[in-house]
Structures are given as C-alpha cells and as structure tokens.
Structure 1
Amino acid sequence: MTEEARAREALVATGRSLFTRGLTFGSTGNLSVRLSDGSWVMTPTNASLGALDPARLSRLDANGLHVSGDNPTKEAFLHVAMYRERPDARAVVHLHSTHSVAVSALADIDPEDVLPPITAYYVMRVGRLPLVPYFPPGDHGLADAVGKLASRHHAVLLANHGPVVAGTSLEAATYATEELEETAKLFLMLQGMAVRTLTPEQVAELRKRFG
C-alpha cells in the first residue's frame, strides 16, 4: 500500500471514530495528513466524517492548491496556516467538539492560555492553549490569526468555533484533540468548585520531562 493510500485509509478510520463517539456531528470538522512530498490529503467540503470515501478525499499540492478529488473543506486555509508554520506537522485535526466550543464562548477565560492544568496528560499533549479571536466562517483573516500563533503552539482554540490541532502524526493530533475536549469537559464540570490544579512547579517538571 502506498503512503497516500495509507493516509486515505487512516483519515476514513479516524473520521468514523470521531463521529461515532460524538466528537463531531453533521458535516462539521475536517482532517488532513501531509505526505512526505509536501502534498496533503484532506476531508472534502460538506462531508460527514462518519461516512468518508477514501477515493473522494481531496488532494492538495504543497502550496495548498486543489489538484484532485472532491473540493476540499472551505476551512482548508486553517490547515495551510498550521503546516506553513510547523514543518514537523504531519496532520491537522479541526473539530467543532461541544465542550471545547463551550469553553471558547466563555467571557472570562485567559486568551493566552484558555484551560488550566487540570491533568498531567493535558499538559503533555496540549500544553498552552491560546484563544484565536472570532472570525466569520471562511474568513481568511482567521488563517493569519492562526498563523501568528502556530509556530509557538501546536493547538489553538478558535473563539465560538472550536480547536485546531497539529501533530507529528494523525494519531498524535487526534489524541491531543481528544485530550483537549476532555479537559474542556472537566473544566466546565468543575465551574463554581474549589479546584486543585497542578502547581507551576509540577507543570514545569512535566514540560521539562516530556517537552
């Protein structure tokens, strides 16, 4: 099986998994994998992640231009922004996952680091999570805003929209996105309670040990 064929199969399997577990719904969310030649394969526009056809996935060249398959998602520019700023990124996951979107709409969150360090795995897989200001869907100003943060953060949260997460593999990007969503859920569950988050010293030790 070729590299591209493996990427197509992985995108279909990942999309189905995310959909069946309620992490995406309808035709929301999009996924991509960057191939070794710099081109990439991504989910098409107006497609449910739960019912992807590997033969109809969009193929884009290294500059993000559509070359084959169905038309790519209108949010392809989010993936371009991440790949352009993160040479090590091999995949990007963007979801409208419920708890992450809920947190992104809160009025009093820290835009420099949205979620507190509730668990070690959040620190290890997500790290610091900045909030990108709101832009209407499809607005290319959003790509510029994401690009300004992408070189320093592999995960960002779009205000009133959802997370965009890059990873060294599709698996890594997916795991980080899932960790972000679960932490957002915990954060909402704990609202109004006295919470014992990890201390700055504990966070520093995790970052030193795991990067």
Structure 2
Amino acid sequence: MTTVQETAAVRYGIWVACPAAGAAAAWGLTLAAGWITTLGWFPFQGVFELVTDMAQPWRTIGALAVGAVAGFVFALIWASEMMSVEVSHARITLRKDDRTFDFGRDQVESVFADGKQLVLLSPSGAELAREKSDLSRARLERAFTEQGYRWRAADPFAGEFRMWVEHAPELTADVNALFTARRKAIAKYENEEAAELAREIRKRGVSVRDEKKRQYYRCER
C-alpha cells in the first residue's frame, strides 16, 4: 500500500508557524497603528485609534494574543482541508477532516487531477469523488500507477460540463435546490459546506465542478 500525505513538517509545523505568524503580524500592526490613524483613507480607523489609546504593556499583550488566536484558527482551517490518500491494489481510501471515503478496486476505472482536485471515475464515467487537496500531482500519479490504476492526463468528460443556472431544466427540483444552497455556501466561503453539498449532488447522478465561483454540472451516464 502507498500513502500520500503532507510532510510531517507541514502537518505538525502549522500549529506553531501559524499562531507565531499571526502574533507577529498583529504586533507589527500595533507598531504602525499611530501612523495608520493619520491615513484618512485607511479602513477600520476606529480599531487603530482604540489600539493607540491602550496603555503598554497591554497593547502588546493583547495584539500578540489576538494574532495568535487568529493564526490558530487559520491552522484549524488548513488542517481540515488536508487530505491523505491510501492506495493499494484492492482499495483506495481518502481521509479528510475526520471523514473517510473508501472505494473498492472494481469501483474505480481511472483517476486524474483537475487543478487541485483529485477525481475518481467509475467504469460508467460517474464521478465517485472530487476532493480538493494540496498534494503533489506527481506523487499522486506515481502512487496510483504503481498499484495498477489508470491515471488520466485530464478529465475525459470536460467538454460535457455546462454552467448551472437557476432551475436548470435538465435537473430535478431537489438537485436544483442543492445547487442553490451550494451557491450560497460558496458566496459565504463555507468551503466544507459547499464540498458536502457537492457530494450530495453526486449521489444523485450529477457531477459538479467550480470555476471562479460559478458551478458547472454534468449529468452522469
């Protein structure tokens, strides 16, 4: 079995690097707060005026704490989007955000990378999974081909996708409702909610992909 995942330096380092970077950035802003208040066009003037009114050492302590917390939240989001891929001759297992997606060898016809998304296709051409990750495309390709899976250079059905519009006549009412809910999630940057809604759409026989916040779909064969 071959496992593809982020390096240990990334998986563990983000819990130190992100809070440290957040604290440093916040501290830097407190140093520049006095100058920023002289720039009438700069947004959040009230916040910077509040910062300049705070006495030391509370100004620095507060900035470091707020920055560290913001960095920790960013690390949480980053960690939730990390994915590990386990490939064996018999199975493919994707692990992401405490969720596991498992596929048997006979379920998977081929695999490819669409930008930062890993896509698994069934023998009928249906998308079994389309999951985003920052894993190296070369490492993924090597892992799958070494276990005998077919790796495609590109999506063989790319030309069949069409842009989704409200009440698309090709789609059922429940699928259109899921697309509507997903559009709202995308607009609010609720990435995990958008991903879960895409999984629900795929369960109903429709592939979905995004391009510049627009949703595209393909009715599966």
- Common fold: TM-score over 0.5: no
What TM-score bracket applies, with the shorter chain setting the length?
Answer: under 0.3
Rg larger for = 2
User: Higher strand fraction: Structure 1 or Structure 2?
Assistant: 2
Q: Which has the higher helix share?
A: 2
Higher relative contact order (CA 8 A, sep 6+): 1
